[in-house]
């Protein structure tokens, strides 16, 4: 039997960026190059017009939200950088194991408050400004924080990997607000709720660095999990899908699902349905065909592509840039550090390019994008 291979992101370091054009090696130079890229003239038959489209499609990653207080993966304070043993849960594990779900929801319970308090930063708002200047066609984001929707609801945005603001039942597909779920988790797990309040008070959850967390009173195991001797993961409880509880669904084999809860309403291991998951694409889970097709249409309908805050380590994002490159679309990348495959994306860019044919710069988006908007407005 042929083995099924699972694509997972690169977790190791990527080669340093090769700046294009060379003048883009400072914030001012990067801004000038991106200005040239976004405003390059469009004429019939030129490289910049594809079926009349001259606007830019924007692809964003975790680096865009760092200034909002969220961790990225490969930055200097990223999860993979500071916590070498970090291992995310895989979709198959989540579906198969009640104990794995307890562990996942316990960690999610601790992390949700910081995400919920975070807000879009200057880079997100600058994206909205670029749209209002008529320069962007749409956004494709790898991020699950919903910041794009808050910062510029009028700009079409495709959430490639889903969103954390909701949960979805894996059996009946009902969606539930994450805020309400957090309240249910708190009620079902008072010891964890008390611990969360204590850790929020001392600021121990504001960093991904295990050493800094320990200094602030949070103990962690070698794999980065919270060490709570008095409230181990096996004690954590989570609610069942209320829709499945009221009306158990049919399972894939045609049988009727069973949803059982304890006296407080927590899902029990005797159940065969009613499992809630975050409305995100988990590691090992496939992106739906509809989302894939929508992302491809967004590429095909644009005249060029700008990547911000992504190392393209996930295949789902890398393949979109590869698609644009194969269609000879001009490409710009604004990202701190290396990017997967960038040596191929920029190898054919003419040496006389000033930004109109392509840009590769390694600067902070929250600094560069707002200044870029200012120059575009006044220039």
Residues marked active site are found at 161
What are the φ and ψ backbone dihedral angles of 203, each rounded to 5 degrees?
75, 20
For residue 21, whether the previous peptide bond is cis, meaning omega lies within 30 degrees of 0, is yes
Burial 274-294 (b: 16+ CB within 10 A, else e): bbbbbbbbbbbbeeeeebeee
Number of Cβ within a 10 Å radius of residue 253:
5
Nearest-angstrom CA–CA distance, 14 and 216: 32
Q: Which long-range contacts (CB under 8 A, 24 or more apart) does 1-9 make?
A: 6/90, 6/284, 7/314, 7/315, 8/283, 8/284, 9/73, 9/313, 9/314
Secondary structure letter of residue 65 according to DSSP: G
Helix/strand/coil for 283? strand
The β-bridge partners of 176 are 167
H/E element holding 318? Answer: helix 315-326
Nearest to 303 by CA among 336, 345, 332: 332
What CA–CA distance (Å, rounded) separates 228 from 108?
Answer: 15
Alpha helices in 139-274 (DSSP H): 147-151, 178-188, 190-202, 210-215, 242-246
d(CA 167, CA 288): 16
Strand order in the sheet with 276-280: 175-177, 162-169, 276-280
Task: Find, among 309, 344, 328, 333, the residue nearest to 63 by Cα.
Answer: 309
Q: How many residues comprise the chain? A: 379
């Amino acid at each position: 039997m042929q083995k099924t291979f699972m694509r997972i992101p690169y977790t190791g370091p990527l080669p340093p960026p090769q700046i294009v054009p060379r003048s883009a090696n400072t914030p001012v130079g990067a801004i000038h190059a991106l200005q040239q890229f976004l405003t390059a003239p469009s004429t019939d038959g030129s490289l910049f017009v594809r079926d009349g489209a001259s606007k830019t499609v924007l692809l964003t990653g975790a680096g865009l939200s760092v200034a909002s207080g969220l961790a990225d993966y490969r930055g200097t304070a990223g999860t993979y950088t500071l916590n070498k043993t970090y291992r995310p849960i895989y979709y198959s594990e989540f579906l198969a194991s009640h104990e794995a779900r307890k562990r996942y929801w316990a960690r999610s319970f601790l992390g949700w408050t910081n995400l919920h308090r975070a807000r879009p930063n200057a880079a997100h708002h600058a994206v909205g400004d670029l749209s209002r200047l008529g320069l962007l066609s749409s956004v494709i984001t790898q991020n699950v924080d919903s910041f794009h929707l808050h910062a510029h609801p009028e700009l079409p945005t495709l959430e490639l990997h889903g969103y954390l603001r909701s949960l979805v039942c894996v059996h009946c597909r009902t969606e539930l607000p994450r805020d309400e779920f957090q309240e249910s988790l708190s009620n079902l797990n008072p010891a964890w709720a008390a611990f969360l309040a204590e850790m929020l008070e001392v600021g121990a959850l504001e960093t991904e660095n295990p050493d800094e967390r320990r200094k602030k009173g949070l103990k962690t195991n070698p794999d980065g999990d919270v060490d709570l001797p008095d409230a181990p993961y096996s004690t954590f409880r989570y609610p069942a899908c209320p829709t499945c509880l009221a009306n158990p669904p049919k399972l894939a084999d045609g049988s009727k699902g069973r949803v059982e809860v304890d006296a407080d309403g927590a899902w029990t291991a005797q159940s065969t349905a009613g499992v809630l998951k975050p409305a995100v694409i988990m590691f090992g889970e496939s992106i739906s065909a509809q989302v894939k097709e929508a992302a491809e249409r967004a590429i095909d309908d644009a005249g060029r592509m700008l990547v911000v805050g992504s190392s393209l380590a996930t295949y789902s994002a890398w393949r979109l840039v590869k698609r644009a490159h194969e269609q000879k679309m001009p490409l710009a990348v604004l990202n701190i550090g290396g990017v997967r495959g960038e040596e191929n994306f920029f190898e054919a860019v003419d040496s006389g390019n000033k930004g109109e044919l392509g840009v590769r710069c390694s600067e902070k988006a929250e600094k560069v994008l707002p200044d870029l908007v200012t120059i575009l407005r006044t220039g």
